[in-house]
């Protein structure tokens, strides 16, 4: 959050880093007169799992669609596997896996047949290092659909359908996998299985994964790094631990005085309480101090960004972030 954050920065601040699977600088998107993305910076290294977390309409899908090459950005520098997605050729395409939000296609096809067919397209792009495509039987076992190889796609349940989508996303053994809201509509068991699948992918193949979600717990469980996107900008970034520690200092103090309720959010709960009790003494009753969870912090950040009403909490996260990067 230093030089790249300046509003008129158009050129990247340095040469693109070749070690990065994903290198996005000052990404902007504008539809008509509405700005959807206001300068997003985003990087990912090989084997990293990055979660884009944010409420609906925050710009998650727009961001991911630009990275996938399905949408042209209004401004900014984007490098995906070292290539500008707007100019990505089929060779580049073969190294990506894409799982979009809603797919109802190929309903009349059988599961195994569809995977074999789509896998065929990757065969010419096999290298000595990466054997493509993923053999269908292996792949079916990996996503837990072996029993459904002969089932017509339209007859799969929602969770099975989503696992098929993931299977299609990884049939070409991608180096970079995009997962847009992968577990929407999953029951808890399916969700856990899916999380295990993601771990397997990153452990065995060092696949880089960019996923979007609005489920904080999921981001916490899967991601090496979480980026919170709200109102078209990244409002906080860090490992789940870092984010939690950053907001752990933020506490909510509640009390009543003369029958009236008070709520105050503060980074220094002890100091605030000392002052509060010195000033009002016995009149303070029903005192309660609650440490904010990561979820509280997330909701506060998102709320501030969306309403434009600053309660100060988001600002403190920013300040701490700047201190951390200095």
Partner 1 sequence: MNPTTNALRAGVRRGLIELRATFTNGQDLWNYFFPTVVLLVAVFWMRGSTVPGTDFSLGARTLPSALGMGLLFGGLLGLAQQLIVDREDGTLLRAKAIPDGMLGYLVGKLVLVSAISLIGVTIQLTPGLFFLDGLRLGDPGAWLTLAWVVPLGLVATLPLGAVIGSVIENPRNMGLVVLPIFGLIALSGIFYPINGLPGWVQGVAQVFPLYWLGLGMRSALLPADLAAVELGGSWRHLETLGVLGAWAVLGLVLAPVVLRRMARRESGSRVAARRERAMQRVG
The binding site for partner 1 (CB under 8 A) comprises 61-62, 65, 68, 70-71, 90-91, 93-94, 96, 98, 100-109, 113, 117-118, 120-125, 168, 172, 180
Instruction: For the CB of residue 62, give the shortest distance to partner 1 in the complex, in Å.
Output: 7
CB 206 within 8 A of CB 168: no
DSSP three-state, residue 120: helix
CA distance linking residue 149 with residue 134, whole number of Å? 15
Instruction: For the CB of residue 98, give the shortest distance to partner 1 in the complex, in Å.
Output: 4
> CB-wise, 61 or 320, nearer to partner 1?
61
> CB-wise, 19 or 107, nearer to partner 1?
107
Instruction: For the CB of residue 129, give the shortest distance to partner 1 in the complex, in Å.
Output: 17
Torsion, Cα 68 70 71 73, to 10 degrees, reads 30
> CB-wise, 96 or 236, nearer to partner 1?
96
Instruction: For the CB of residue 25, give the shortest distance to partner 1 in the complex, in Å.
Output: 22
CA distance linking residue 150 with residue 77, whole number of Å? 44
> CB-wise, 93 or 246, nearer to partner 1?
93
Instruction: For the CB of residue 212, give the shortest distance to partner 1 in the complex, in Å.
Output: 11
Distance set, CA 117 to CA 58, 171, 172 (Å): 35, 10, 11
CA distance linking residue 102 with residue 254, whole number of Å? 43
> CB-wise, 136 or 276, nearer to partner 1?
136
């Amino acid at each position: 959050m230093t030089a790249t954050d300046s509003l008129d920065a158009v050129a990247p601040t340095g040469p693109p880093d070749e070690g990065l699977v994903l290198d996005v600088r000052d990404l902007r998107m504008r539809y008509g007169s509405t700005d959807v993305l206001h300068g997003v910076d985003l990087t990912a290294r090989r084997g990293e799992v990055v979660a884009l977390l944010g409420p609906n309409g925050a710009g998650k899908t727009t961001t991911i669609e630009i990275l996938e090459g399905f949408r042209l950005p209004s401004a900014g520098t984007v490098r995906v596997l070292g290539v500008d997605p707007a100019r990505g050729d089929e060779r580049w395409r073969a190294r990506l896996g894409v799982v979009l939000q809603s797919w109802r296609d190929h309903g009349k096809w059988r599961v195994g047949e569809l995977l074999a067919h789509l896998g065929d397209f990757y065969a010419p792009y096999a290298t000595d290092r990466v054997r493509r495509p993923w053999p269908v039987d292996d792949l079916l076992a990996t996503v837990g659909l072996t029993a459904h190889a002969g089932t017509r796609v339209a007859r799969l349940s929602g969770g099975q359908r989503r696992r098929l989508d993931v299977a299609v996303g990884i049939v070409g053994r991608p180096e970079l996998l995009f997962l847009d809201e992968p577990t929407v509509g999953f029951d808890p068991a399916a969700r856990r299985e899916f999380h295990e699948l993601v771990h397997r992918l990153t452990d065995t193949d060092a696949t880089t994964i960019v996923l979007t979600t609005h489920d904080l717990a999921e981001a916490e469980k899967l991601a090496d790094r979480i980026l919170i996107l709200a109102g078209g900008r990244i409002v906080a970034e860090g490992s789940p631990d870092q984010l939690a520690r950053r907001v752990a200092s933020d506490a909510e103090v509640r009390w009543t005085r003369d029958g009236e309720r008070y709520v105050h959010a503060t980074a220094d709960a002890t100091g605030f309480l000392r002052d509060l009790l010195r000033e009002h003494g016995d009149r303070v009753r029903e005192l309660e101090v609650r440490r904010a969870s990561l979820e509280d912090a997330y909701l506060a950040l998102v709320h501030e960004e969306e309403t434009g009403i600053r309660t100060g909490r988001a600002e403190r996260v920013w300040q701490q972030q700047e201190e951390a990067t200095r």
